[in-house]
Amino acid sequence: MVHGASVQAITIVALGDSTTAGTPGFQSPLESPPDGAGDVESQYAYWLMKAHPEWRVLNRGVNGERSDQIRARFHRDVGMVRPDAVVVIAGVNDIYQGRSSELVERELEAIYEAARAALIPLVAGAILPYNTSTSDAIARMRDVNDWMRAYAARNAHVVFCDTRAATATPNDPDRLASSPDGLHPSPDGYRRMAAALEPVIAGLLARPPGLR
C-alpha cells in the first residue's frame, strides 16, 4: 500500500419503503434532509455499519412508498451512486393497498433488471410481516417472497435474504416479534434485519467482480 493512501469505503444503498427508512423511530435522509432524524438505531443501515465500519450504507427508504414509486427513483438513488451493492425491500405497501402479488413481482423484476443493467449486485429482502394483515394479504406476501427466492436462484446477480423470518415471532411467522406499532420493527427488529442481511451482503461482496 502506498504510504498515506486510504482504503476506500464499500458503499451499499438501502432502497425501500418504511422498513428501510426506519419507521416509526427514524426518518431517513430522504424524509428529513440532510442526515435523517430520530433514533438512529431504528434502521437496519445503522446496525450494518456498526458491524462493518468499513461499509457506508446509504438509507434511501421512504415511508409509504409502493414498489412502483421505489422503482421510479432507482436511477437517482442507486444508478447515479454506483454502489458496490444494493439492498431492495419493497412491496408491503402494495399488499396493504390491495394490489396483486403479480403486479408487485413485475415491479420488483424491473428493479432487479435495472440493477443488472447497471452491473450492481442486489440483495432481495423479503417483505416483512405486519400484525394487522389479513389472510389474503399474508398469502400475497408469501407469493411475492417465494417468487423472490426463485428469481434469485435463477439469476446470479441477485441473492435472497429472508428478512421476514428475521423479524417474525418464532411461533407465528406472520407477526412481528418486536414492534412499537404493530406495523414496523422496533430498534431490536431492525437489528435482527441487519443480522440477517450482513452475511448475505458480505458473501455477495466477496464474489469476484464478474460473478457478483
Q: Which domains does the chain have, with CATH numbers?
A: 10-207 (3.40.50.1110)
Please give the full DSSP string across 70-91, using - where no structure is assigned: HHHTHIIIIITT--SEEEEE--
> What is the pTM assigned to this prediction?
0.93
User: Looking only at Cα atoms, what is the longest distance across the chain?
Assistant: 61
| DSSP-based three-state secondary structure for 172 | strand
* Cα 41 to Cα 26, 56, 69, 79, 197, distances in angstroms: 8, 15, 26, 27, 16
Mind listing the pLDDT tens digit for each residue in 104-153?
A: 999 999 999 999 999 999 999 999 999 999 999 999 999 999 999 999 99
- Contact at 8 Å (CB) between 185 and 128? yes
Mind listing the pLDDT tens digit for each residue in 56-107?
A: 999 999 999 999 999 999 999 999 999 999 999 999 999 999 999 999 999 9
